[in-house]
Amino acid sequence: MSGRARPGLIQTEQVLKPQGRHIAAWTKYSLRTVFQPICRLLMADAPVFRLYNSMTRQVDAVEPLEDGHLRFYACGPTVYTYAHIGNFRSFLTADLINRTAQALGWETTFVSNVTDVGHLTQDDLVDPEGADKMAAALEREGQRFANIYDLARYYTGALLDDWHALNLQNPDVRPRATEHIAHQIKAVERLMERGHAYETDQGVYFSVETFPEYGKLSGNEAAEQLQATERETVQDPDKKDPRDFALWKKDPDHLMQWHSPWGWGFPGWHIECSAMSMAYLGEAFDLHTGGEDLAFPHHECEVAQNECLTGATSVRYWVHTRFLQVEGEKMSKSSGNFFTVRDLIEPPEDGGRGVDPLALRYTLMAGQYRKPFNFTKKTLSDSARIIRRYQDAAEQVEEALQADEEGPDHAADTLPDCYDATLAAMCDDLNTPKALATALEGVKFIQGLGRDLNGATARTAQQWLVDTNDLLGIIWHQGDAEAAATGENADLATKVNALLDERAAARESGDYDRADAIRDELDAMGIEVMDAPDGTTWKRKAVL
């Protein structure tokens, strides 16, 4: 991946969505409805999927409103800069929920937004007087971008590059706030019509007093609690209650503005997610994720808005990811321990540290999502070694598949049970430490097979690798996973080995120009050639 992010295309993407371990990774999204009933039958004895619900403050069994179909929303970032590894720990939680549900044979509808307007620097104080993060970023960036929309497109593209590098599945819909202004205006109008909002000279506010249950998600209920969190902000003197939050900010001079019934301005941050989630998931959906910092006020405000718009519970399960530390300290730029994804995975010549993105993904999964996690260089180094073990095992399996020697299946009684244990751990409130430890036992088993890794055993091992990757996303990136499942890797190996034989013959005859040309051809195919005294080996480069 280069240091330059491409402009992001934020349309709904059709992606491969494997549905359970009995269906190969090449099952196409368009065929999902055909296989769903079969998957649910095959997974009838599957473990119960349980998650910690911030609303009930306990681990609850996830029971979708629509049988076998999980519909959920994940708060995405504000695209005013590069997302950091703490952001991606939260995004990874949503990815693992999606993968686990699919492994159970469920259909999933996953929506994750992009906030490209309306997030104020003081939004954590539910007050509309802070500077807009997008506008502040444009001022900071100087002449780098022609306008604020270019800045948003650039950092959205960077988000997608990092998203794919860490092997996160694409959401079914990735809506942008700027493309849903009409939805937000209509939502504000409905709240006003129902007596839950009012207008002042500075904006339109949600009236917390009209929703007695405000605070039930976070526990921040009293006006005094809110005032205790406030720092030096300018209050709107016409606000009726210090807890009231902005739905629309009147500002005819703002860099991003739209005309509304209340004049020119832009939406409040909280109304954006309410409008976009209900636009794609309906007035009632199953689950909502985000970082722990979003529980209050953002998600608390969403609860109030949603339930006043619908008159009923709109989200059944709220899942929050805890913060991470870096080397035992809070991550901050002033401490020098603040990392974006690209700080770590970009090659050294581009200013990065050359970390395998799958190793970074593995590290961010090493701690369970709802416990604080300490990100260290040692953990990252250990993760890189483990990822290499998975890739080595996959190469062993590929070689055995090509040889296809006859013999009994020595993995039939071990690897399926290993996968079942890994899935059970993921269903246990995304217990990733246990899931990773269990899956690693499968790798050790494969590497310990030796001569017993015959054709039949290799086919079971290949299926285990594909299924484990579908669930955890740590072995191959999406394109490589499809190749492993369809046998494309075997075809690739045949082609690569033929080219290496030709290269060896060219070197033997002294035709070094031809040998170099073959190596360049292999490099263009994404193949890394490694010459050693005892022979030449090769491997696929990481797909970014």
* CB 436 within 8 Å of CB 362: yes
Query: Which regions of 382-427 does DSSP assign to beta strands (E)?
Result: none
Which phi and psi angles does 335 have, rounded to 5°?
-85, -10
The CA distance from 542 to 357, in Å, is 8
* CB 162 within 8 Å of CB 1: no
For residue 112, CA distances in Å to 31, 77, 156, 205 come to 23, 9, 13, 25
Task: For residue 185, give every residue at least 6 positions away whose Cβ sits within 8 Å of its Cβ, in sequence order, or none.
Answer: 248, 258, 260, 261, 267
Task: For residue 83, give every residue at least 6 positions away whose Cβ sits within 8 Å of its Cβ, in sequence order, or none.
Answer: 77, 91, 158, 159, 162, 340, 341
Tokens 């590497």 correspond to 447
The CA distance from 205 to 193, in Å, is 13
The CA distance from 443 to 414, in Å, is 11
* CB 119 within 8 Å of CB 133: yes
For residue 414, CA distances in Å to 46, 100, 425, 438, 468 come to 17, 21, 17, 12, 14
Q: Is 299 annotated as a binding residue?
A: no
* CB 160 within 8 Å of CB 167: no
Q: Is 302 annotated as a binding residue?
A: yes
The CA distance from 106 to 40, in Å, is 7
Q: Return the SS3 of 492.
A: helix
Give ∠ CA 155-160-164 in degrees, rounded to 5: 150
Residue 54 is which amino acid? S
Tokens 């629509």 correspond to 66
Burial class (CB in 10 A: 0-12, 13-18, 19+), 251: middle
Q: Is 298 annotated as a binding residue?
A: yes
Task: For residue 364, give every residue at least 6 positions away whose Cβ sits within 8 Å of its Cβ, in sequence order, or none.
Answer: 85, 88, 89, 92, 166, 324, 373, 375
Q: How many residues does the chain have?
A: 544
| Cis amide linkage into residue 347, ω under 30° from 0 | no
Q: Is 495 annotated as a binding residue?
A: no
Which phi and psi angles does 276 have, rounded to 5°?
-75, -40
Reference 177, options 91, 114, 260; nearest CA is: 114
Reference 302, options 230, 218, 232; nearest CA is: 218
Q: Is 301 annotated as a binding residue?
A: no
The CA distance from 466 to 459, in Å, is 11
Annotated binding site for ATP: 333
Annotated binding site: 75, 273, 298, 302, 333
Annotated binding site for Zn(2+): 75, 273, 298, 302
